[in-house]
């Protein structure tokens, strides 16, 4: 079993913001698998698929970014899953815009959503797929930046990055080794 969580904020006004890259990638993954977000459970909207005989839950927390850990903790408990069954997709200001980087574990860095997840589940041992959003040409406070809409000239770059993140999540859901997925997608 895998639980794949795309972080973001639930209101329409946030759909094209940097902080919703995880939500976008989760939507891309659901589309790849031919499933829709129909079910509301554990403070998230979820889609379920079968990948290679294994159940995969794709979730978009409804808790807003800074409380994402609540939904993730509930999903792990409901599905009797361990942190090692978890994959989290999210935006990362510490990476240049458009880059995708997969890691098998690690800290929250500057990300409050990840800080919430680590605090709630008490573990850093889960895969994370990070989508870089840092733009060296923009100099505004981080809180304003992550909640800003992606600039039109960068939109295709970020759509492509979200698609690559979804492909990486699918490879992991199919059972590919994290190290091999990192080799294919990091960069």
pLDDT in tens, 70-99: 999 999 999 999 999 999 999 998 889 999
CATH code for the part of the protein at 2-185: 3.40.50.1470
pLDDT in tens, 95-153: 899 999 999 998 877 788 999 999 999 999 999 999 998 887 777 777 777 777 888 88
HSE toward the beta carbon, residue 53, CA cutoff 13 A: 1
SS3 114: helix
pTM: 0.92
Give the number of other Cβ atoms within 10 Å of residue 24's Cβ: 26
Active site residue 79: no
CA distance 46 to 89: 15
User: What is the distance of C-alpha 74 from the center of its chain?
Assistant: 17
CA 51 to chain centre: 18
Provide the residue ranges of all domains of the chain, joining segments of one domain with +: 2-185
Catalytic residue among 19, 79, 99, 111: 19
CA distances from 150 to 38, 53, 99, 168 (A): 27, 37, 15, 22
DSSP state of 17: B
Distance between CA atoms of residues 179 and 187, nearest Å: 14
- Does the pLDDT value for residue 160 go beyond 80? yes
Residue 125 backbone zone (phi > 0: left; psi -120 to 50: alpha; other: beta):
beta
For the chain, the straight-line distance linking the first and the last C-alpha, in angstroms and rounded, comes to: 27
Closest by Cα among 40, 41, 39, 4 to 23: 4
pLDDT for the residue 187? 65
Could you give the CA distance from residue 127 to residue 84 in angstroms, rounded to a whole number? 7
């Amino acid at each position: 079993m895998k639980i794949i969580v795309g972080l973001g904020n639930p209101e329409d006004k946030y759909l094209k913001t940097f902080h919703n890259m995880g939500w976008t990638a989760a939507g891309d993954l659901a589309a790849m698998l031919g499933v829709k977000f129909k079910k509301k459970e554990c403070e998230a909207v979820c889609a379920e698929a079968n990948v290679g005989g294994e159940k995969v839950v794709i979730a978009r927390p409804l808790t807003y970014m800074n409380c994402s850990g609540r939904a993730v903790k509930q999903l792990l408990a409901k599905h009797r899953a361990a942190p090692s069954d978890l994959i989290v997709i999210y935006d990362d200001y510490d990476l240049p815009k458009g880059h995708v980087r997969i890691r098998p574990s690690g800290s929250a860095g500057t990300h409050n959503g990840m800080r919430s997840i680590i605090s709630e589940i008490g573990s850093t041992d889960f895969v994370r797929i990070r989508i870089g959003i840092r733009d060296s040409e923009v100099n505004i406070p981080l809180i304003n930046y992550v909640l800003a809409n992606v600039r039109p000239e960068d939109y295709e770059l970020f759509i492509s990055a979200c698609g690559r993140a979804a492909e990486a999540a699918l490879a992991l859901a199919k059972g590919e080794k994290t190290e091999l997925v990192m080799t294919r997608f990091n960069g």
